């Protein structure tokens, strides 16, 4: 079993408790991070009618709910929203929450989407689980319309420059695996999560990789002591 397959198996195992664990581990702050991502994207895209939004590594459909809600609040018509994930277990939970949404089993590197067919592609706290990251960005660029946006929210590696950085590090490496393990009864999965934020997962590196794929970063911002970073890039 390859690394990517192992990751999928792990997410299938923790699917049932994933939503609860996420809210507890981020102390609910991830809601504000997701809100900001959606609002900023709609502001930058600046269209009242959007043909297609695709949420990659959609998991249990959390981000899809935010896209739908924030679109409504901004009086934006979302014609079609699709969730893509290689974990069937996670998407089964999503289908129960969002019976009207189409969920597709696929990897980020090989999506069954037509060329230049998509307005917005989002991936929230999932790019660290994509082994072939550059291939995924190339695939996003292929599927996006010209001027379309990629929206990445992710935990990123930071230089430790002040005491808060060490506190964040302690939380991610010690508290998160223990709490997540208790909730999901799978400590291995939650030990993997902080470990998956590898040394290449920095703001600068992500921006460089996006540019290589022809995606120009237009908005880069970190939140909550730099735990979470939002990068929005436009297809040139």
**What residue numbers does the annotated binding site for S-adenosyl-L-methionine cover?**
60, 85, 124
Query: Do residues 64 and 83 make contact, with C-beta atoms less than 8 angstroms apart?
Result: yes
Place of tokens 């920095």: 202
Q: Is the dihedral of CA 63, 68, 74, 76 positive or negative?
A: positive
Binding positions are: 60, 85, 124
From residue 72, alpha-carbon distances to 33, 42, 67, 79, 165 in Å are 18, 11, 9, 12, 37
Number of H-type helices and E-type strands within the chain = 10, 7
Q: Is 201 helix (H, G, I), strand (E, B) or coil?
A: coil
- Mutual angle of helices 18-25 and 88-97, in 10-degree steps: 90
Query: Do residues 196 and 173 make contact, with C-beta atoms less than 8 angstroms apart?
Result: no
């Amino acid at each position: 079993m390859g690394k990517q397959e192992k990751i999928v198996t792990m997410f299938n195992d923790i699917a049932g408790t994933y939503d609860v664990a996420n809210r507890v581990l981020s102390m609910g702050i991830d809601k504000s991070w997701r809100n900001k991502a959606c609002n900023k994207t709609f502001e930058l895209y600046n269209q009242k009618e959007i043909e297609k939004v695709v949420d990659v590594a959609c998991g249990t459909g959390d981000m899809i709910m935010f896209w739908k809600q924030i679109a409504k609040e901004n009086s934006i018509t979302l014609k079609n929203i699709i969730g893509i994930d290689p974990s069937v277990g996670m998407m089964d939970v999503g289908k129960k929450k969002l019976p009207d949404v189409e969920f597709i089993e696929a990897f980020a590197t090989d999506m069954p989407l037509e060329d230049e067919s998509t307005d917005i592609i989002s991936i929230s706290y999932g790019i660290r689980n994509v082994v072939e990251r550059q291939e995924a960005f190339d695939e996003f660029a292929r599927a996006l319309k010209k001027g379309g946006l990629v929206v990445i929210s992710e935990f990123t590696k930071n230089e430790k420059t002040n005491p808060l950085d060490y506190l964040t590090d302690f939380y991610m490496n010690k508290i998160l695996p223990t709490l997540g393990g208790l909730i999901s009864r799978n400590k291995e999965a939650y030990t993997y999560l902080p470990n998956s934020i590898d040394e290449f997962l920095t703001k600068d590196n992500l921006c460089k990789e996006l540019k290589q794929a022809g995606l120009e970063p237009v908005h880069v911002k970190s939140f909550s002591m730099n735990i979470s970073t939002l990068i929005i890039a436009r297809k040139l």
